[in-house]
Structure 1
Amino acid sequence: MAELVYPPVIGVARTMFKALDLRFDIQGTEHIPRRGGAVLVSNHIGYLDFVFAGLTARPAKRLVRFMAKESVFRHKVSGPLMRAMKHIPVDRAQGEHAYSHALRALRSGEIIGVFPEATISQSFTLKNFKSGAARLAQEAGVPLLPMALWGTQRLWTKGRPRNLGRSHIPITVRVGREMAADPEEPTVSVTERVRARVQELLESAQRAYPVRPKGPDDTWWVPAHLGGTAPTPAEAGERG
């Protein structure tokens, strides 16, 4: 079936990024398979992460179907778009429905995007990973694709005003090689392995990031362990 909505939305996003003069450093897109199912696994630090993660699949001419909270699909603007792009709503009270939907999509050869931290990390460090991504890959017999995003929190993140002016903000993305998800391996072990790989990619992206805070008032987006003023993981956990 023809994709009538997703490609135009990507075009609009690219136009917006050009208007904002975002500076992209994306490496590893060659690891995105040109055919067949896969579970793309990324850290989650901003509201626009699904857009940037999805862009990594364009060189392979692929579209990523993201699992997102059900409330996004109820919004009068985003809801129709999300459904038309065949993203997958997740009702946390009835998660198995979303799981079955994603499993069918994987078996039909789709790439499914998952943020296994479930919510945005306000500390900008990796939270614990839910096991769903690993379980999906194991049951569908598809690989995991680890990915890390950095800089997206400076555009729009939880608890901060949006910065969608002509900001010249760098966005750094790293995509890792496929990781096997052996059905015989304990799911918790697969989850730990993919989290460790995302952590490595995140640290690589942070090292490569081309700018540093401009002053004491511009350290909010840097994790505490790197000298910034973002909340520690413990403090972020208390905020909910």
Structure 2
Amino acid sequence: MTGSDAPSAWGPRWSRWVGVALARGWWATEVRGREHLPRRGAAIVVANHVGFIDGPVLHGVVSRPSHFLIGSHMYRGALGPILRAAGQIRVEGAGRTALAQGLAVLRRGGVVGMFPEGTRGAGTADAVHGGAAWLALQSGAPIVPTALIGTRRAGEPVSVWPPPRRRILAAFGAPVTLAPPADLKGRRRQEWAQQAVAAALRAQVEATLADTDLRLPGDDGGRTIASIEENA
């Protein structure tokens, strides 16, 4: 897979079931708002990011095969061949190639997953990178803001692998189609879209926290690791 080629659609068909086994078998993940995920057509799932298991959990609870943008550091060692076989998208450098591949997935009517905060941390979505906004503008695909709560608790490192039956909540919000004002062009249009993605994700996280006894960790896990959508 090179340039703007889309990753194979077959990988997520099997790897999603690995995510299902982890999210619903190993851990106890409650899923809310599944009806907000479009049943067909392009969609961009964006979520807050607090820990190592966010990706596998979200990959499992998204009801369709999905291709996630994943930082190149995650492809080291034995995990690399697995991620490639799973049809996930490797982010290197400025992320331009990864974004082109994500756009190709959307143009064939697929689902792209992203963690636009760019690092594992507090998960409050106070700031996001612009990759998801760019994809939404280029493809016209809706953004599905998603809150992940419980994948990491206060004091745990960002690399934590939680014990069996850890309670986790994944809550999908209503899809948002970005429609910038017609007079915005270039960088101003991209900035508007980026702020809209951040606002939608923050609102979903806050609404979810207001309706559960689970909490975000409130810390950055002791260190910040570049992850999905790095530099995008």
TM-score (norm 2): 0.78
Q: What CA distance in whole angstroms lies between the structure 1 residues aligned with 2:62 and 2:31?
A: 11
1:11 aligned onto 2:5: no
TM-superposed deviation, 1:124: 3.5
* Contact 1:176–1:201 (8 Å) recurs in 2: yes
Amino acid at match of 1:84: A
Percent identity between matched residues is 26
Q: What CA distance in whole angstroms lies between the structure 2 residues aligned with 1:8 and 1:134?
A: 28
Which residue, out of 204, 217, 223, partners 1:222? 217
Amino acid at match of 2:78: V
Report which of the two structures shows the higher radius of gyration computed on alpha carbons. 1
Partner of 2:30: 25
TM-superposed deviation, 1:42: 0.9
Change (3 A) 1:43 1:134: same
Which residue, out of 42, 66, 69, partners 1:67? 69
User: 5-14 or 140-149: which moved more?
Assistant: 5-14
1:199 aligned onto 2:194: no
Indicate the SS of the match to 1:208: coil
Partner of 1:217: none
Change (3 A) 1:88 1:165: same
TM-superposed deviation, 1:165: 2.8
Partner of 2:3: none
1:187 aligned onto 2:190: yes
Q: What CA distance in whole angstroms lies between the structure 1 residues aligned with 2:171 and 2:52?
A: 18
Partner of 1:100: 100
Partner of 2:116: 116
* Contact 1:116–1:133 (8 Å) recurs in 2: yes
Residue correspondences, number: 211
* Contact 1:155–1:163 (8 Å) recurs in 2: no
Partner of 1:171: 168
For structure 1, the 5+ residue unaligned runs are 213-220, 224-229
Q: What CA distance in whole angstroms lies between the structure 2 residues aligned with 1:116 and 1:196?
A: 12
* Contact 2:19–2:61 (8 Å) recurs in 1: no
Change (3 A) 1:13 1:210: same
* Contact 2:72–2:91 (8 Å) recurs in 1: yes
* Contact 2:44–2:114 (8 Å) recurs in 1: yes
Answer 1 or 2: which has greater helix percent.
1
Greater length-normalized contact order (CA 8 Å, ≥ 6 residues apart): 2
Q: What CA distance in whole angstroms lies between the structure 1 residues aligned with 2:58 and 2:20?
A: 13
TM-superposed deviation, 1:102: 1.2
Q: What CA distance in whole angstroms lies between the structure 1 residues aligned with 2:80 and 2:103?
A: 22
Change (3 A) 1:202 1:11: same
Change (3 A) 1:18 1:64: closer
TM-score (norm 1): 0.76
